Amino acid sequence: RGASEAGGLSVGLGIELPFEQGINDWVDLAIDFRYFFARKTMFVKYAQAFVVLPGGFGTMDELFEALTLVQTGKVTRFPVVLMGTGYWRGLLDWLRDTMAADGKIGPVDLELICLTDDVDAAVRHIVAAEAALSAEQEAVRGESVARTAADQRAAADESREG
């Protein structure tokens, strides 16, 4: 609804299930999937951020799939925002107090998640994460250009000496 009301394109990725609610009325472009893995691939492939609302097993499946892919570097890093502190607090406490405490995940992994009730705070987090990622990518590009230039100079020096 938010994307639609803001004048953006609202894309809905549905799944063929007997009890699924279906695509909502605010979606401009609907794509239905038969298999979960294909739907999750599309969620993650084009994501710039994940904003997760309270949900059930499917929501948890998609949340942890996204976190795992970001954590392991299999996809470009993107922010994950959990909306609803009352709903998600227990899960985050468990992740910190059980999984991280037992060494199953690293404390840095918890930094992949932003928990809030404030839409403006969620937007600020996403914008800041995008800016940080862009700066990192620009630095990597700069290093690559510098390395290529140095390699070319070294090759030119070798050819003059040879």
What is the pTM (predicted TM-score) of this model?
Answer: 0.75
Query: Over the chain, what is the mean pLDDT?
Result: 87
To the nearest whole percent, how much of the chain has pLDDT over 70? 98
To the nearest whole percent, how much of the chain has pLDDT over 90? 39
Confidence (pLDDT) at 29: 87
3-state DSSP assignment of residue 95: helix
Q: Is the pLDDT of residue 161 over 90?
A: no
How far is the C-alpha of 41 from the C-alpha of 44, rounded, in Å? 5
How far is the C-alpha of 69 from the C-alpha of 75, rounded, in Å? 6
Residue 12: Cβ-neighbour burial (10 angstroms; 0-12, 13-18, 19+): middle
Confidence (pLDDT) at 162: 67
Place 101 in a pLDDT band, splitting at 50, 70 and 90: very high
Q: Is the pLDDT of residue 139 over 80?
A: no
Q: Is the pLDDT of residue 99 over 90?
A: yes
What pLDDT, in 10s, does the model give residues 39-60? 888 888 878 889 999 999 989 9
What pLDDT, in 10s, does the model give residues 9-27? 888 888 887 776 677 788 8
Q: Which contiguous run of DSSP H or E holds residue 90?
A: helix 85-94
